[in-house]
Amino acid sequence: MSGTCRSLSIAVVFSTWLGGASLAQQALQAGGAATLFQNVRIFDGKSATLSASSNVLVRGNKIESISLQPIAVDSPADIRIVEGGGRTLMPGLIDNHWHAMLIRVTPAQSLGDVGYVNLVAGDEATHTLMRGFTSVRDVGGPVFGLKSAIDEGIIKGPRIYPSGAVITVTSGHGDFRQLTDLPRTIGGMLTRMEQTGGAMIADSPDEVRVRVREQLMQGASQVKLTAGGGVSSPFSPIDVTTFTEPEIRAAVEAAENWGTYVTVHAFTAAAIRGAIAAGVKCIEHGFLMDDATAKLMAEKGVWLSTQPLPEDLRLGFPVGSVQRAKADEVWPGIARTYELARKYKIKTAWGTDVLFSAALARQQGAILASLARWYTPAEALTMATSTNAELLALSGKRNPYPGKLGVVEQGALADLLLVDGNPLDNIGLLADPAKNFKIIMKDGIIYKDALAR
């Protein structure tokens, strides 16, 4: 057998073996494993009130039926029956601005040993799921391996909608090189951040196409560019607009060829307007937008994925640092952005954007609850469930988890939380998931069961 044929044979066997875990998991779900929630009040992901006492049957990885009447089951011994006791059954939470590989590590560690970074990220992914977040949209980082490990059941974690490497320009947000790394040799050796897949530098439409297609080839569900300056990057002033319109348009075209979309980091009105002109479907942050730009977003149907960034995140930057000065410039715009989003009824998604802080990651639910400054609890919870799921679905055929997320309805994917209390009355319950989330289910599988005897 030739070397080429031998390699192909090994590849086929290896691919089949890798798929085995996933197929086994699917077979387990298809085999009829079921859970019956009795006497629960449902927040369906859309309504402003809870349902009357109801019963919900989950079979495999989907919600099979919902009824006000008792649900008869053929073989009770094969079904996990959960007596809800009037607790709230609601969809799993979705964080639409997450960086799974960058939560606990320091900036230096993120560029260091890849094995260590993956192990830390895997442990954090489990904690993310145990906080009730059953899905995250990852908007930058080398997350493809972690996603595969979760999907194959090797570790516990949320569904991940990956962007892959952040695509930026020389000196843009996401370019963490030092001045000693300059000048860049075109076509030369990649920098460490590019080698690890954290960010890729692209300084022309052709380079942008290459980097976008590389992320899509690896399984990106959407593509992330940085259209303007950022806080954490050392040489990226807030006021600077980075990519040119033809460069962003090249990314949009490449993504659309794959049936998906581009989202961009952008604070300023100029950066947002340039991205919209190039065909971008979603803006991350938008903290320095003006009234006219907010109105334009609403008219064009462009999504705003924004975050109620906690004050502790700003205070985490050292006083006197470039990053702290930029944070001080950006933070006052957060409230204004939410006010504009409400004023013009912009399609608004929610996320956290936690970076390099295990302590802030533990506040994920509390950050969601802080939306009560601008929204009712029902509005905030709708945003973090069914509305966020609408943005996830914008990936079209690149959606790694086809099916309906973010709702409790017949036929939807069974990502569910059983909450001790009514979060529509007290959204603060989300800040203490260890105490208040009695059951956490993802894809029909129970990962936490505080009611089991």
Q: Domains in the chain, ordered, with CATH?
A: 29-91+407-449 (2.30.40.10), 93-374 (3.20.20.140)
pLDDT, mean of residues 377-393: 98
The phi, psi pair for 112, rounded to 5°, reads: -95, -130
Range 82-92 average pLDDT: 96
User: Among residues 175, 189, 184, which one has the least CA distance to residue 225?
Assistant: 175
Question: Under a CB-based contact definition with an 8 Å cutoff, are residues 113 and 142 in contact?
Answer: no
Question: Distances in Å between the alpha carbon of 297 and those of 301, 307, 346?
Answer: 6, 17, 7
pLDDT of 47 reads 95
172 Cβ neighbours under 8 A, 6+ residues apart: 201, 226, 229, 230, 233, 236, 240, 242, 243
Q: Report, as an integer, the average pLDDT of 439-448.
A: 97
DSSP state of 76: G
- Binning pLDDT at 50, 70 and 90, where does residue 248 land? very high
- Please give the pLDDT value at position 190: 80
Q: CA-to-CA distance for 24 and 28, rounded, in angstroms?
A: 6
The percent of residues above 70 in pLDDT, for the chain, comes to 91
Number of C-beta neighbours around residue 81 at 10 A: 12
Q: Is residue 8 pLDDT above 60, yes or no?
A: no
Burial of 219 (0-12, 13-18, 19+ CB in 10 A): middle
Order of strands across the sheet with 133-138? Answer: 93-98, 133-138, 159-162
Please tell me the predicted confidence (pLDDT) of residue 4: 42
Looking at mean pLDDT, say which of 235-239, 258-262, 314-318 comes out highest: 258-262
Beta-strand pair 54-59/62-67: antiparallel
Per-residue pLDDT at 174: 80
Does pLDDT of 453 surpass 80? Answer: no
pLDDT interval class at 21 (50, 70, 90): very low
Would you say residue 159 has pLDDT above 60?
A: yes
Task: Place 76 in a pLDDT band, splitting at 50, 70 and 90.
Answer: low
The pLDDT-based confidence of 355 (bands split at 50, 70, 90) is confident
Candidates 445, 357, 418; CA nearest to 29 is 445
Q: Which of 184-193, 314-323, 368-377 has the lowest mean pLDDT?
A: 184-193
Q: Count of CB atoms within 10 A of residue 31's CB?
A: 11
Q: Which residue has the tokens 């006021």?
A: 239
Q: Is the pLDDT of residue 354 over 90?
A: no
Identify the residue with better confidence: 392 or 110.
392
- The pLDDT of 375-393, averaged and rounded, is 98
Instruction: Please tell me the pTM assigned to this model.
Output: 0.90
As a whole number, mean pLDDT of residues 264-289 equals 97
- In whole angstroms, what is the distance from residue 133 CA to residue 150 CA? 14
What is the structure's pLDDT at 32? Answer: 56
Mean pLDDT calculated for residue range 138-149: 96
DSSP string, 324-350: HHHHHHHTTHHHHHHHHHHHHT--EEE
Residue in 408, 356, 291, 298 with CA at minimum distance from that of residue 37: 408
Residue 31 has pLDDT above 70, yes or no: no
Residue 77 pLDDT: 66
Q: Which two tokens stand for residue 372?
A: 């009560």
Which residue do the tokens 């505080």 mark? 450
Average pLDDT, the chain: 89
* pLDDT of the residue at 104: 85
Instruction: Name the E strands within 307-444.
Output: 348-350, 416-419, 437-442
